[in-house]
Every structure is written in structure tokens, then in C-alpha cells.
Chains A and B, each alone.
Chain A
Amino acid sequence: MSLKYTIAPFSAWLQAVSKPFTVPVTGGPRPGAPRYRGWHINDVEKCIGCGTCSAICQNEAIDMVPVDDPVVGDSGLRPKIDYGRCCWCALCVDVCPSGSLGMSNEYVWADTDADVFRYIPGVDEKPWDDSELGWRREEGFELVDHDRVPMGMLDPDERTQTWAEVVIGYTEEQARVEASRCVDCGLCVAACPAHMHIPDYIGAIRDGDDARAVQIIYDNNAMPEMCGKVCTRRCESVCSIGVQGDPLAIRWLKRYATERFDNLAEVLQPQVERVGEGRTVAVIGGGPSGLTVAYYLAIRGFEVTVHEALPQVGGATFFGIPRYRFPMSSLEKQVDLLKSAGVKFVLNHRVDGDELTRMLAENDAVFMGVGLMKPMALRAPGEDLPGVIPALDMLREQNLGHEVDVGEKVVVVGGGNVAIDASRISRRLGAEVTIAYRRRVVDMPADDEEIEDAEAEGVEIVTQAIPLRVEATEDGKLDFVWGPAEMVQEEEGKRPRPKLIEGVENHLVVDRVIVAIGQGPDLDWLPTEISEKICNKWGYIEVDETGMTAVEGLYAGGDLVNDTADAISAIADGLRAVNGIVDKTRAQHV
């Protein structure tokens, strides 16, 4: 072997006088890289307690623990990390729908107490809480799907020429994809007045089991096809995916599932205890609350009769909501199920005070869900002129199939769903339509999508417009006079109020002024001894936590009880009464 190989290794000694390979570090550990995956941090104000972080963690290192009372849209839980399990993969950070969770670039922490290595980031104070550096969620890299499957709709021009349903509905494939976006956090369940089992039925749709989905839906909603088409969807407003992306199309998925089956009775074979065998219940008013009570009591063996003043049940969803949103066939399908469950209907029958007293005596329980039938007046001079009509009357006539004439030009006063419906119906009747609303578009109680749809159909919206008076013109038309308003913030935290700017008058000459500024209870027919017990000073009915009024055996619900006045709240009220009646019946069995 050559001498070279003996000598060469000694060149290593040269290192003794050269720059070392290693990098000298002084003053403690060097900071982690800017995107280092160190100890967790959490912006607890931004965190919604959805638990998605916990769901993705393959090491089960995250427990969701209560730190606050739950509110709608926030479970009050926050992630607690167990560093005996965590492997610092940061999947939790990358999946966090609110973007609140992150990691600091701190990586050194020593302690003799092993328990400290389980903490709630953002709640249990740590030196790195304000760390600017470390691993964060990054836009452009999402582990969840932010994009909703778009819903097919009729072309706006086509819509005004027809009464056909505007929304086309998801295909099977679209529904499966949309359903797969759900992260199963359940925040929606808490937000839904009826607490429908949303992630469960969405999961069933995702897994291709539509029948199962419908069964779950019917756990606590007997009018789901209606809700699938017109619900105010409080659920979607708290969807965790909606924080940074499009919320799940919960309403459309429910619609999809229920529309899959023509004969619901075949799909639903409810397995419930028939506690009501031999008992009778009378329901006054065939709106969503009354129908809910009827269905869930009937399947439990109660003999239920629904008394309805109109020729068809459905309540405001029959006489108010237009057919292009909620077609008759959908309503009939749901009513057929009630019939198959044994519910009896007495139609065209308006219950009066005497009959109510009789019903109370003859039945085990009576449920009243008669809704809000009295339209609010315009309260401006000229409100009684012919041609100034309540939206509710116009919609009822239309839905009952009677001839409705709104002329060539109308103004609709109001900003809720009723106003939007009246304006879109008027467009379909061929009129030019203007909505006059007191506040701004953002303040409109109507559903955003409804507002968009109305505008797409050619409805013009004039905001901050206060009606001053209506005058009859010489050529038989109406002059709608309105004044502009400015928005004033009177109290901190309250929504701004419109204030009339004096001295300016605008004129809109129209054939009809359609008034849609709300409706109130119409309970004059109640016997005084009952009404003074159950009504509050605004004329609404008050109930306890079982849904019962101060009159023994008299239950109530729906618009005339709750202050949210939408279909799902009416359904929730109905469910409350069902539980109340069932519990009471059970107690009597013992």
C-alpha cells in the first residue's frame, strides 16, 4: 500500500487551525425557522370550537374541553393538546376552518412536572402566545373543500314567464360531492331551532344511503321537503366551513334527500313507542307547527284531528310562500304521509271560541298554531285607498288559484321574505316592480339569495325610503310618496335606525301599493277567560318549556308564540309540544 494512504488521514489535523464545520451558537437555543412547527398557539376569540382539529389528529392528542358557555356558532369548547401524544404534524393547523390554530416556532420547553405538557393554547398562558413566527394556515392549501357545488337555477328571463320552480335541485352526483364537504362539527345542530341531526343525514347522503338520510331527517322534521326548499337555514350561517369558504348547502341537501322518494311512508317505518293509544288531540291551524304536532303524535298512537280554516293545510307555506319556491306537489307529498300516519283533517273549518272550549273538554290535549293572520297597516295617509293591498291577501289569492291583477306597475313596501315574494309574484304577473325599504339592503330580513334572485328577475330595490302617503291620481293610479332617510346609530350595539330627511319628497306612480311590513296575531275569537290567561300584552301567546299555555291541556306554538317567525321555528315549537304531551301521557300511565 502506498505511503500516501498512511499520510493522507493526518490532513485532518489541519482542521485544528481552520474554521470549524460546526456553527457556534451563543445565548441559548437558536430560534426555530419562520415556519417551524413548535408549541401550539390559538386565537381563542377566532376559534369556534368546531373540533375539526381534534377530528384530524391521528394521535388523538387533542381533547375538546369546555372553557365557556356555548353560544350559537361556538361550542364553547377549545382544543387541549397532549404533548405526550402530539407529533407536531400540524394537520390540525392546516385543517382549522377558522384559521385560529397555529404553531409558534418555539421548540424548547423543559419542566419537571409532566402534566404541564397538556395545555389549552390561548387559554393557558404561555411565553410564545404572541409568537409572530411558526406554522400557520396558508391560503391556497386547504384540507377541507371551500367551494360549494353550485345550484342549478332557471334563467332569470325564463323565470318570470313561468310558475315553475326556480331552483332545479342537485343531481345525485352533485349531492354526494357537496355532502362530502361536511367536517361533522355539529355547530349547525345547535343553531337549528329543531336541532335536526344535520351531520348525520349529510353523512348518509355522502355514503349514498338516501333512505337513511330521510329517516334521520324525519327524526325531528315532518316537513323537510318544505324546509329543503325555503328554510331560513340558520344552520348554514354557523357552518364552520363557511368561516373561510362557502357553508355547506345544508338546505339543498335536505331537499335532495326528500325529493328522492315519492312515497315517504315506504321509506319511513318509525319505531316509536305508541304511548298515545286511545287518546285524542285536536290541532287548530294546519301550519308547520300544527302539522309537526299531528305527525309525531299520530305515529305514537294518538288520534289527531287537524282543523284548518283554508281548503288546504300548510299554513303560510301553502297560502303565503309562492309555488315557484315551494310547489304544491311537494306540500301534498308531505301531507300524504300525515294521512298515512292516521292524521284526520277537517278543512274549510274555522274554529271559534266555543268550539275551543269544547275541544279542551273532549280531548287529552289541544294544540293551537294559528299563525299571524293580521297584516300590519301602512300607517300613512292613503292606506285605505283601493289598490293599497296587504301582501298576504295578494299572495293568498294567488296561491288559492284566484285571478290576481296587480296592473302594470307596483311598489312593494317592506324588506322581508313576504315583500320579496310579493314582488317576484308581481313580476310573474307582468308588472314592473319596485321595492321600497326603510333601511339598507344589508338590513333586509329577507334571505340574501332571495334578494339576489329578485334583482336578477328585474325587481328594483329602493332603500332608505320612508312612505309618506299614498294619493289617488286623476287617471285612476296611485301616487306613492316617499322621503329619503339617513341611517343613525342611536345606541351602541343596536342596529342603526332610519331617520327621515325632512323636506324631500319622491313620487312613484303605480297601480298597486303592496304592503309587506309584517303581520300580527289575530286572536279576537278566543274566549276572554282563555285569552287573558294565555296572551301577553302584544297579543302573542306564552307557553312554558313543555309548550303548554297557562290553560291546562292547551298547547301552542309557531309564529304566534316565537319571535323568529319562520317555518323551522314553528316546527321546533311543535316538537316541544309533542314532547310535552308525550311526557305528560307517560306520567299518567305510571
Chain B
Amino acid sequence: MTEQTALERRVQLWFGPQHPGITGNMAVQAWLEGDTLTSGVTHVGYLHRGFEKLMERRKFIQSFPIVCRICVPEPDTNEWLLAASIEELSGLDKEVPEKARWIRTLFLEMSRLSSMLMVLGGHVGAMGLGTAPNWLITLRDYILDRFEELTGARVYHMYVTYGGVRRDLPEGFAERLEANLQEIESKLPLVDNVIFDSAVFRKRAIGVGVVPEEWVDELGLTGPIVRAMGIARDTRTDYPYEKYGELDIEPMTTTGSDIFARAWMRRLEIAQSIDLIRQILAKMPTEGPYSAKLPNMLTWTIPAGETYVRAEASRGEMGYYVVTDGSDKIRRVHVRGPSYVHGVTLLERLMPGTNIADLSALMVSLQVCPPEIER
């Protein structure tokens, strides 16, 4: 047999966009030598709707139904960021009632929890282990039940608005949510058994996909990725918003910076989230309005200005840079989603040397949400 040249040994492979192992509607174009990637390029564009551009054509209120589409598993950060940025630019932030601020904090934390339950299952799902993802999706559904009764919808909630939220908590909501939390807590040890105590997961996750600390500031990494390398960074504590400043909350960390550490980080944050939701329910006032009095939403104009507002999504720091020009529409909005850096810059750097079988797990551990890249 004649010796093959390096070029001849190289295989080009499209991973996605139609592949169950890819995170959402995206694709990776990978080059392989054997089963090891020599390089890879992230491709997006499969669900481009031009969210940012669309928002420039809409009255402020009309953007809520779009922004939630920027992240399907965790739409609520987007709703809140839109509300908070426009409130700041219009001065309406001073009128948001106390109770609305608590409800928003609850809503955001429920959103993080439901998203983390889903992605934790994804960690092992990407390795072909089906049990935990099924369980975790069910646990997430319990939270979606609560979203449904709170907001009128399971996935796209469109619940936060300028000046507060759209409806009060329904009667008995806190009790039903607490029951769900207990249910989730009771199931988590089972989940631990099949994820963190699984030899398969440990072998394929420990030491795989290590992100070096030097890249954090160079690339602008945030969220569980940096906390899983021992760096205590969290928007909720570093730049507290809504009622996070009034909660007993410490940023959690772990070490290792590999796929395992990032999964474990999410496991820790699930517990933290459950604790925070309990704190919020205990501290939240029961009386009072849930929304400020709003001006006519069909004609509302806002003074010219610009701002950047941020929040901690389950994937990392999510931010909206918003410019207004005194008209009844947003002039420019830039959505800073963590997925751009994590799913494009970081992923492309991590791919060389990665085994093709680990690519899916690596992507899940970076928790890439493609619409956030496309905006």
C-alpha cells in the first residue's frame, strides 16, 4: 500500500445542520485526520430572521414577541433586557412597582432553572445516553407548567413588559411552584447517579474540552464556562439587577474547566436556583400593583439615548446595547449573546485536536444557542 499524503488523509465533514447532535440550527464544517479534527468552522444562517433589524421597524411594545425568539429554551432574559433597556432610556424604570421587580426576579430565575435542567440532560444525551435527558426534560416541563399558568404560554412567555409584568401571580402559585421544586429535588439524586456517577460520562468528560484561563478575557467568556475554571464571575452578583441584590447569593465555582466541570457547574447552579426561587417567594410582597401605568403603547416615544443592559442567562452574560433617537421605535439594538463567543470563537479554537465523537458533547457544554448568534 502506498503511503497517503497528509492531504489525502484529510476528510471534510459537515456536522449539521440536520444532525441530532448539533446544538440547534447550526452546522460545523470539520476537517479530520483519522477521527481527530484538524480544524472546524461554525456555520449559522439557518434561522436568520433579522431580529435586530426587525426591532427598528416596530413600536417598542411590538418587539416583545420577537425578542423571546432569540433563545428558545431561555427566552425570558431577552424579554427582561428589552424591558430594562427601554425603561432606562425612557425613565419608566423609576415607576416599576416593587412587586413587579420581585416577580421579574422570580421569572428570570425560573427561566434559568428550566434552561439548566434541559442542558444538563443534553450533556449526556450528546454521548448517546438517553435516560437522564428524558428525566430532565420532564423536570423542566414541571417549570413550564408554572410558566403556563403565570404567563399564558409554555415556551414564548411574552410576560415582562415596560413598567412591570403583564399579570399578577395566580392564586396559590407559590405553593404549586414549591411542590415542583420539591419534586425536582427529590429526583436530582437519581439524575446524579446516571450522569456524574456514570463511568461513561466521567471517562468522556473529564479532561476533555479544557478551556484555558487566559482565553477568558481575550475572548470575553462568561457564565458557567468561566465559573467552571474557578473564576467567581456572575452578572447577578457583580452587577445586581432587579432584586438579586437583596438575595443571599454567592457566585458558585468549581475547577477543571472541562466538560465534566461545566456539567457539574450546572448541577450546582440548579441547586442554587432552587434556593433563590425559595428566597424570592419568601421575600416577595403579596400586595401592590404588578405594572406601572403605561403611556399609550401605540404612540409612545422615547428620548434619544443609548445604554447597555446585562443579565446572567444560564449560558453566561447576555446584554442589549440599545440606541433610541426620540422616535417611537428603537434606532439600533445589538444583542450580545454569550453564544457568539462560545459557539463561534471559542468552539473554533477548541475544535483542533478534538475527537469527532466528543464534538457534540463539547458544543453542549458550551451551551450554544444559534439564534443568539444570528440575531
Residues of B within 8 A of A90 (CB): 152, 158
B contact residues around A9 at 8 Å (CB): 193-194, 197-200
Which of B59, B158, B170 has the most chain A CB within a 10 Å cutoff?
B158
Bound complex: CA of A88 vs CA of B66, how far in Å? 12
Q: How far is the CA of A181 from the CA of B300 in the complex (A)?
A: 9
Within 8 A of A (CB), among B120-155: 131, 134-135, 138-139, 145, 148-149, 151-153
Q: Which of B313-344 contact A (CB under 8 A)?
A: none
The residue of chain A having its C-beta at the shortest distance from the C-beta of B131 within the complex is A12
Residues of B within 8 A of A21 (CB): 134-135, 138-139, 187
**Partner-contacting stretch, out of A30-38, A398-406, A579-587:** A30-38
Q: Which residues of A contact B203 (CB under 8 A)?
A: 1
| A135 to B152 Cα, complex, angstroms | 7
User: Is A145's beta carbon under 8 Å from chain B?
Assistant: yes
Interface residues on B, range: 35 or more
Whole-angstrom CA separation of A143 from B61 in the bound complex: 9
Please state if A58 and B296 are interface contacts (CB–CB under 8 Å).
no
A538 in contact (CB, < 8 A): no
Complex formed: what's the CA distance from A537 to B134 in Å? 87
A11's contact among B65, B138, B194, B290, by CB below 8 Å, is which?
B194
Q: Are A87 and B156 in contact (CB under 8 A)?
A: yes
Q: What per-residue 1/0 map shows which CB atoms of A1-40 lie under 8 Å from chain B?
A: 1001110110110110000011000000000111111000
> In the bound complex, do residue A184 and residue B197 qualify as a contact, i.e. CB atoms below 8 Å apart?
no
CA distance A103 to B166 in the complex (A): 15
Residue A376 at the chain B interface, CB threshold 8 Å: no
Q: Which residues of B contact A91 (CB under 8 A)?
A: 61-62, 64-65
The yes or no answer to B182 lying at the interface (CB within 8 A) is no
Q: How far is the CA of A56 from the CA of B298 in the complex (A)?
A: 7
**Do A180 and B300 touch (CB < 8 A)?**
yes
Q: How many A-B residue pairs have CB under 8 A?
A: 121
Does residue B42 face the partner (Cβ distance < 8 Å to A)? no
Question: Cβ of A143 and Cβ of B170 under 8 Å apart?
Answer: no
B275-298 CB mask vs A (1 if < 8 Å, else 0) is 000000000000001110111111
Please, which residues of chain B bring their CB within 8 A of the CB of A184?
Answer: 298
B202 at the binding interface (Cβ < 8 Å): yes
Q: Is B58 an interface residue (CB 8 A)?
A: yes
Shortest C-beta distance, B188 to chain A (Å), equals 12
- Chain A, 285-324, contact with B by CB distance < 8 Å: what is the 0/1 string? 0000000000000000000000000000000000000000
CB-CB under 8 A for A94 and B202, given A8-B193, A12-B194, A56-B61: no
A55: chain B residues within 8 A (beta carbon) = 298
Report Cα–Cα, A52/B295, bound state, in Å. Answer: 15
Inter-subunit contact A145/B294 (CB<8 Å): yes
A-side contacts of B296, CB under 8 Å: 143-145, 180-183
- Contact of A143 with B152 at beta-carbon distance under 8 Å, contacts A6-B199, A12-B193 already known: no
Q: If A9-B200, A12-B194, A89-B65 touch, does A141 touch B148 (CB 8 Å cutoff)?
A: no
Asked if A505 is at the interface (CB within 8 A of a chain B CB), the reply is: no
Provide the bound-state CA to CA distance between A90 and B190, in Å.
Answer: 40
A140 to B294, CA, bound (A): 10
- List the A residue with the shortest CB-CB distance to B197: A8
Q: Is A332 an interface residue (CB 8 A)?
A: no
Instruction: Select A5's contact among B65, B138, B198, B301, beta carbons within 8 Å.
Output: B198
**Contact bitstring B86-127, A, C-beta under 8 A = 1, else 0:** 000000000000000000000000000000000000000000
Residues in B whose Cβ lies below 8 Å from that of A489: none
How would residues 186 to 212 of chain B score, 1 for a CB under 8 Å from any chain A CB and 0 otherwise? 010010011001111011000000000
Cross-chain contact B62 with A34 (CB below 8 angstroms): no
> In the complex, are the beta carbons of A36 and B298 less than 8 A apart?
no
* CB atoms of B197 and A180 under 8 A apart: no
Would you give the shortest CB distance from B362 to chain A, in whole angstroms? 21
Q: Cα distance A21–B190 when bound, in Å?
A: 11
A138 contacts B167, C-beta separation under 8 Å: yes
On whether the beta carbons of A32 and B148 are closer than 8 Å, the reply is yes
Rounded to whole Å, the gap between the CB of B118 and the closest CB of chain A is: 14
Chain B residues within an 8 Å CB radius of A4: 197
| CB interface residues, B 249-308, toward A, < 8 Å | 289-291, 293-301
Q: Which of B59, B135, B170, B295 contacts A34 (CB 8 A)?
A: B170
User: Which of A12, A15, A89, A142 lies in contact with B158, CB distance below 8 A?
Assistant: A89
User: Which residues in chain A, 480-494, are within 8 Å of chain B measured between CB atoms?
Assistant: none
Q: A168-204, CB under 8 A of B: which get 1 and which 0?
A: 0000000000001111100000000000000000000
* A180 x B295 contact (CB < 8 A): yes
Interface members, chain B 56-75 (any A CB < 8 Å): 58-59, 61-66
Contact of B199 among A1, A95, A142, A143 (CB under 8 A): A1
**CA separation between A94 and B190, bound complex, in Å?**
44
In the bound complex, do residue A95 and residue B298 qualify as a contact, i.e. CB atoms below 8 Å apart? yes
Which residue of the partner chain, among B149, B170, B193, B299, contacts A180 with CB atoms under 8 Å?
B299
Interface centre among A8, A14, A33 (most CB of B within 10 A): A33
Find the residue from A32, A143, A144 having the highest chain B CB count within 10 A. A143
Most buried by B among A5, A56, A138, A147: A5
Q: Is the CB of B197 within 8 A of A5?
A: yes
Complex contacts, B190 vs chain A, CB 8 Å: 11-12, 14-15
Interface residues of B in 146-189 (CB under 8 A from A): 148-149, 151-153, 156, 158, 166-167, 170, 187
Contacts of A52 in B (CB 8 A): 298
B199 touches A183 (CB 8 A): no
Roughly how many angstroms separate A4 CA and B131 CA in the complex, as a whole number? 18
Other-chain residue from A34, A103, A144 in contact with B297 (beta carbon distance below 8 A): A144
- Residues in chain A near residue B197, CB distance under 8 A: 4-5, 8-9
Please report the C-alpha to C-alpha distance between residue A33 and residue B64 in the assembled complex, in whole angstroms. 21
Residue contact B193 to A36, C-beta cutoff 8 Å: no
B45 to chain A, nearest CB (A): 22
Residues of B within 8 A of A14 (CB): 190
Q: Bound state CA distance, A59 and B156, in angstroms?
A: 15
Which residue of B is nearest A20, CB measured? B138
- CB pair B131–A182 under 8 Å, yes or no, is no
Does A206 touch B at the CB level, under 8 Å? yes
- Residues on B with C-beta less than 8 A from A12 are 131, 190, 193-194
- Chain A residues whose CB sits within 8 angstroms of the CB of B145 once the complex forms: 33
Are B202 and A37 neighbours in the complex by a CB distance under 8 Å? no
In the complex with contacts A12-B190, A88-B153, A58-B297 CB distance below 8 A: no
- Which of A35, A95, A140, A180 interacts with B152 by CB under 8 Å? A35
B140, chain A: closest CB distance, angstroms: 11
- Tell me if B297 and A95 are in contact (CB < 8 A): yes
From residue 94 to 117 of chain A, which have CB atoms closer than 8 A to chain B? 94-95, 103
Give 1 or 0 for each of A27-66: 1 = CB within 8 Å of chain B CB: 0000011111100000000000000100110110000000
**Bound Cα distance A140, B100 (Å):** 13
How long is the Cα–Cα vector from A138 to B294 in the complex, in angstroms?
Answer: 14
CB contacts (< 8 Å) of B290 on chain A: these are 140-141
For B206, the closest partner residue in chain A by CB is A1
Query: Which of chain A's residues have a CB closer than 8 A to the CB of B64?
Result: 89, 91
B187 touches A8 (CB 8 A): no
A135 to B166 Cα, complex, angstroms = 11
Q: Report, nearest first, the 5 A-B pairs whose CB atoms are least far apart.
A: A8-B197, A58-B62, A5-B199, A33-B149, A37-B152
Q: A11-B193, A36-B153, A89-B158 are in contact. List 17 more A-B contacts (CB 8 A).
A: A5-B197, A9-B194, A9-B197, A9-B199, A33-B149, A34-B170, A35-B149, A56-B297, A59-B65, A89-B156, A140-B290, A142-B294, A143-B294, A143-B298, A144-B297, A145-B294, A181-B299
Q: List 27 A-B contacts (CB under 8 A).
A: A1-B199, A1-B203, A5-B199, A8-B194, A9-B198, A9-B200, A12-B131, A12-B190, A21-B134, A21-B187, A33-B145, A35-B149, A36-B153, A58-B59, A58-B63, A58-B66, A87-B156, A88-B156, A91-B65, A95-B298, A143-B297, A144-B297, A145-B296, A180-B295, A180-B300, A180-B301, A184-B298
